[in-house]
Amino acid sequence: MLNRRQILCQAALAASALALPLTATAQSSDTPIRIIVPFAAGGPIDVTARILAEAVKPTLGTVIIDNRPGAGGNIGVGALARSAPDGLTLGIATTASHGINPWLFSKLPYDPAKDFVGITQMLRVPNVLVVNADAARRLNINSLTDLIAYARANPAKLNYGSGGNGSAGHLAGEIFKNQARVFAVHIPYNGGNPAQVALLSGQVDYNFDNLATAAPNIRSGKLKALAVTTAQRSAVMPEVPTVAETLPGFEIDTWWGLIAPAGTPPAAVNRLNAAFSEALRSPDVKARFANLMAEPAPSAPAEFDAFLQRERAKYERVVKLSGAKVD
């Protein structure tokens, strides 16, 4: 027969055993979600990811940002592809990582078509065709139609800058030349900032730049905005026409969104989509994104997957047209 002390000991052990699963469950629910940002801290992609991480905290708990910059986003996206598909590790897909890089790089550390599942598109930032203001006055270029007419009448006399071969600005310039049937000389720089400095100093005549970057110089009169590259006019500069109003079908912009490793359970994908989509629709997030000239673009997972597929197909043609390649 067990004495009183033995009975109490066994009861305590049984209670401890029953408590273990409950403790483990509590700990797993408190595990923070991690978002791998494939670019350095402080840039627009990092800033918007941190805004969203803060916005979803009441719903999803702590969300931490893990910056993995390098190789045009390939290092961070490759790290996401190798992560466990448990719904706790997410990453950022961008125009570069899922549209351009698959055709620009001879080898990638991930398969953009097979290694990921979409959560939601986060936002899009319009690009804008901007002309050096002094050059615009000297050449009497006041509209996109004027630029095309001058370029056709003066082949190779205009040049445009970009942040490098294969960059979004370079590819937008090549599409423009192809659709407008003009020839201008492309001058690649080592990044977007040097390209903008070259435009402001008159070393190049025009650029396809990010609207958020170009806006201060447009408003100060140093640059003249001729057209935005999105299908619709930008809400932040509605007076600027689209390229498509002159060249139907022209559409190219900068976007990014949330993805997870392939195999992430559908229930987790849907839960994450609901939380981040709600945050993207909130007035506070919209206002903070507007300061970056960014427009929230929440979407269903299947919708974002289809968008990524269309972007890959679009940029395959564009990259081949440009002839750009990174070995």
Residue-wise pLDDT for 307-325, tens only, equals 999 999 999 988 988 888 8
Burial class (CB in 10 A: 0-12, 13-18, 19+), 289: buried
Rounded distance between C-alpha atoms, residue 238 and residue 227, angstroms: 10
* Residues whose CB falls within 8 Å of the CB of residue 264, separated by 6 or more in sequence, listed in order: 85, 86, 87, 117
Burial class (CB in 10 A: 0-12, 13-18, 19+), 274: middle
| Strands in 213-286 per DSSP E | 223-228, 254-261
Residue-wise pLDDT for 214-227, tens only, equals 999 999 999 999 99
Describe the strand order of the beta sheet including 127-132 as a list of residue ranges: 185-188, 159-162, 206-210, 127-132, 223-228
pTM assigned to the model = 0.81
Q: Which amino acid is at 92?
A: I
Taking the CB of residue 189, how many other CB atoms lie within 10 A of it?
22
Rounded distance between C-alpha atoms, residue 63 and residue 31, angstroms: 9
Measured in whole angstroms, the distance separating CA 232 from the mean position of its chain's CA atoms is: 18
Q: Residue 118: which H helix or E strand, with range?
A: strand 116-125
What DSSP string describes 168-209? HHHHHHHHHHHHHT---EEEE-SSHHHHHHHHHTTSSSEEEE
> Token pair of 6, please?
């033995």
pLDDT in tens, the chain (327 residues): 444 444 444 444 343 333 333 333 222 457 999 999 999 998 889 999 999 999 999 999 999 999 999 988 999 999 999 999 999 999 999 999 999 999 999 999 999 999 999 999 999 988 999 999 999 999 999 999 999 999 999 999 999 999 888 888 999 999 999 999 999 999 999 888 899 999 999 999 999 998 888 999 999 999 999 999 998 998 888 999 999 999 999 988 889 999 999 999 999 999 999 999 999 999 999 999 988 888 899 999 999 999 999 999 999 988 988 888 886
Is 40:65 a contact under the CB 8 Å cutoff?
no
What DSSP string describes 34-96? EEEESS-TTSHHHHHHHHHHHHTHHHH--EEEEE---GGGHHHHHHHHTS-SSSSEEEEEEHI
Rounded distance between C-alpha atoms, residue 281 and residue 262, angstroms: 26
Report pLDDT for 8: 40
- DSSP state, 285? H
Rounded distance between C-alpha atoms, residue 206 and residue 139, angstroms: 12
Rounded distance between C-alpha atoms, residue 119 and residue 269, angstroms: 6
Domains in the chain with CATH codes:
33-125+254-322 (3.40.190.150), 127-245 (3.40.190.10)
Radius of gyration of the chain (CA): 25
Is 206:132 a contact under the CB 8 Å cutoff?
yes
